[in-house]
Amino acid sequence: MSRSTFTSMILIAIGVVYLEARWTVIEGGWRCQIDVLPVFAAYAALHGRVGVMAGVAALGGGWFDLLSANPLGTSLLSLFLTSYMLHGMHELLLKGQMAAQFFVCVLAGVLNPVIAGLALWVMSADPMLGWGTLWQVLINAICCGLAGPVLFLILNQLDQNLSHTPTAKPWNRPVVEVKRSKHYHQF
Amino acid sequence: MLKQPHIVTLCSVLTAGIVLLSLPLRVNTQIKWVAAGLFLPFIGLAAAADQKLESVQSIVVSKQELLRENQRLRKELENYKIALLQRKTVVSENDLLREEILWKKRQPWNLLPARVQVKEPSNWWSSLYINVGTEDGVVENTPVLSPQGLVGKVDQVERHRSKVRLVGDPHCRVSAMLAQTATRPEAEQAHGTVMTGQDTQLNPRMVSFQPLPLNTRIEPGAEVITSGMGGGFPRGIPLGHVVDSRSSGVGLFAEARVRLTVDLNRLEMVWLILPAEGNGRAPGEDPR
C-alpha cells in the first residue's frame, strides 16, 4: 500500500467517523450505533504492513475517541488488536473475493467492540454493558460485513489510481538474459 | 514466526494503549484535549461543511413555506407573551409570600443556547458535544435543558466546546421525585435517582427510577421531575413519565421504568443553566 493510498484511507475513515457521530441512528429499528471503522482496520490488515495497521488504529481510533466519551486509547487498542488478529490470514485469504471480504469484515465488526468493551470493563470505566450489547455487536458486524466489499472496492480503486507500479525493463529481464558459458570457446 | 518489526510495533502500540487507559481519567482527558489539536483542521472543516449544508438547505426551502412557518411562530410567540404576563403576576405573588416567611427570592435562570455538534458514535455511552465552552462561561456539571425537559449535565469543558453526559448515561445520575398532583399530596412525593436502566442500552429514552419505598403509589403516566437534592440540578425540571414499576433488590425497594420527555437523538439545540454570579449555585435552585 502506497503512502497516498494510506493518507486517502485515513481521510475517508475520518470522514466516515464524523458522519457516524453527526447522524445517529440508534433510535431507528437498529437500536444500535453503527461503526464501520473496523472495516478500515480489516483493509489495513489484508493489504498493509504492521505500520499501516498501527497508523489506522492511532489516527482513526484517536479521532473516534475524540468524538466519543471513550477514554483516549480505547479504540487504538481495539482496532490494532483486531487488525493484528486478521493480519494472520492475509496470505491465506482470497482477499479479492466479495464473500471473503464480507466474512473478514464481519469478524472485524465482532472483534473490535468486544475488545473495546473488555478494555473499558477491565479499567472500570462503567460503560453500558448488558444483554443488549450482544444485539448491538451482531447488528454492527452485519453492517460492517455489508459495508466491507463496497469500501474495499473504493480503497482498491484508490490504490490502483494512486500507486505507482514500475514498468518492467525489457533489457534487464532475467528470463531473456543470455549468459555465456565459460566453455563457450571450446566449440 | 513473528518478524522483528512486527514485535516492535505490537509491543509499542500495546504499551501506548495500556498506558493511556491506565492513566487517571483527568490526565487522560487532558491528553485528549492535546490530541484534539492534531485534528483541529478536521473539526474546522466539519463545522464549515455543516454551515455550508445549512445554507444549501435554506436555498431549497420555498418562500411560501418560510412565510407559513413565520406566521405559525408569530402566533406561538403571542401565546407565550400572554402566558408570560400571567406568570409574572404569579411570580410577584410568590416573591411576596417568600418575603413574608423570610425565604430568599428565586433567581431567574441564566440560560445560554448551544448547538449540538456531534453525538456519541459508540454504543458504550450516551453523550454529545456542544459548541460552547469556558469562553462562554460554561463550567463542569452545568445542567443542560431543552424545552421538553432535562437533557443532562456538562461533563468536560474545553475552550470552545463541551461534552454533555445525557440522562441515562452511567455517569449522569439525577436526583428525582414524583411530581405533586391533585391526587398526590406533597407527603407522597417519593424521591429516588434516575439512572441507566436495563432498557437504556437499546432505547436511550428508557431509564430507571429507583430506589423508591415499596409502599409508594406509582401509577403509569405519573410525571417525574428533578428534586433539586444534591444541588446538581434545579428542582422541578421535567424528566419523564412512569411506564411501569416493579419491586427490585430482592423486594427491598421499588423501581420504575421512566420514558424521558426529551428525544435525546433528535436534539439540535440545547440550553445551559449557567451558575448565578456570586453564590456559585445554579440559578433557580431552591434556596431552602
What is the CATH topology of the domain spanning B111-274? Thrombin, subunit H (2.40.10)
Structure-block grid coordinates of residue A182: 565459460
* Interchain CB contact of B15 with A (< 8 Å): no
Q: What distance in Å separates residue A105's CA from the closest CA in chain B?
A: 18
Q: What is the pLDDT of residue B33?
A: 80
Q: CB distance A69–B163 less than 8 Å? A: yes
Q: Residue B117: phi, psi to the nearest 5?
A: -90, -65
Packed helices B40-60 and B25-38: angle between N→C axes, nearest 10 degrees:
70
Do residues A57 and A40 lie in contact, with contact meaning Cβ atoms separated by under 8 Å? no
Strands (E), B12-148: 110-119, 127-130, 143-146
Q: CB distance B129–A67 less than 8 Å? A: yes
Q: CB distance A77–B14 less than 8 Å? A: yes
Q: Residues 6 or more apart from B259 whose CB is under 8 A from it?
A: B205, B206, B240, B241, B243
Nearest residue to B263 (alpha-carbon basis) of A137, A18, A24: A24
Above 70 in pLDDT, residue B154?
yes
Chain A residue numbers touching B50 (CB-CB < 8 A): 22
Chain B residue numbers touching A54 (CB-CB < 8 A): 9, 12-13
* Residue in B16, B21, B36 closest to A123 by CB: B21
* Residue in B9, B118, B171 closest to A50 by CB: B9
Q: What is the pLDDT of residue B287?
A: 43
Do residues B197 and B211 lie in contact, with contact meaning Cβ atoms separated by under 8 Å? no
Q: Which residue has the higher pLDDT, B275 or B175?
A: B175
Strands (E), chain A: none
Cα torsion B47, B53, B56, B61: sign: negative
Q: CB distance A80–B14 less than 8 Å? A: yes
Q: What is the pLDDT of residue A83?
A: 93
Above 50 in pLDDT, residue B115?
yes
Which of B40, B124, B196, B266 should be substituted to probe chain A, the one whose Cβ sees the most A Cβ atoms within 10 Å?
B124
Above 70 in pLDDT, residue B186?
no
* Interchain CB contact of B158 with A (< 8 Å): no
Mean pLDDT value across chain B: 84
Above 90 in pLDDT, residue B39?
no
Cα B5 from Cα B252, distance rounded (Å): 58
In the numeric block, the cell 423508591 is attached to: B212
Q: What is the pLDDT of residue A185?
A: 60
Cα A34 from Cα A36, distance rounded (Å): 7
Q: What is the pLDDT of residue B283?
A: 47
In eight-state DSSP terms, residue B136 is: G
Bridge partners of residue B111, in order along the sequence: B273
CA B273 to chain centre: 10
Angle at A159 between CA A154 and CA A160, to 5 degrees: 100
pLDDT in tens, A13-66: 998 998 888 876 545 566 788 899 999 999 999 988 888 999 999 999 999 998
Q: CB distance A127–B170 less than 8 Å? A: yes
Domain definitions of chain B by residue range:
1-106, 111-274
pLDDT in tens, B240-259: 999 988 887 677 888 899 99
Q: What is the pLDDT of residue A174?
A: 58
Q: What distance in Å separates residue B119's CA from the closest CA in chain A?
A: 5
Q: CB distance B6–A50 less than 8 Å? A: yes
Segments in chain A below pLDDT 50: 26
| Global pTM value | 0.82
Do residues A71 and B21 lie in contact, with contact meaning Cβ atoms separated by under 8 Å? yes
* Interchain CB contact of B155 with A (< 8 Å): yes
The helix (run of H) or strand (run of E) holding residue B54 is helix B40-60
Q: What distance in Å separates residue B233's CA from the closest CA in chain A?
A: 22
Structure-block grid coordinates of residue A150: 463496497
What is the chain B residue with the closest CA to A57? B13
Compute CA distances B165 → A43, B66, B126, B169, B282, whole Å. Answer: 33, 34, 6, 6, 18
Which of A7, A10, A18 should be substituted to probe chain B, the one whose Cβ sees the most B Cβ atoms within 10 Å?
A18
Q: What is the CA radius of gyration of chain A?
A: 22
Nearest residue to A64 (alpha-carbon basis) of A119, A4, A7, A21: A21
Chain B residue numbers touching A71 (CB-CB < 8 A): 20-21, 25, 28, 32
Cα B236 from Cα B225, distance rounded (Å): 5
Q: What is the pLDDT of residue B288?
A: 43
Q: What is the pLDDT of residue A110?
A: 95
Q: Residues 6 or more apart from B52 whose CB is under 8 A from it?
A: none
Chain A residue numbers touching B46 (CB-CB < 8 A): 18, 22
Compute CA distances B78 → A15, A35, A182, B89, whole Å. Answer: 43, 45, 107, 17
Region of A117 on the Ramachandran plot (φ > 0 left; ψ -120 to 50 alpha; else beta):
alpha
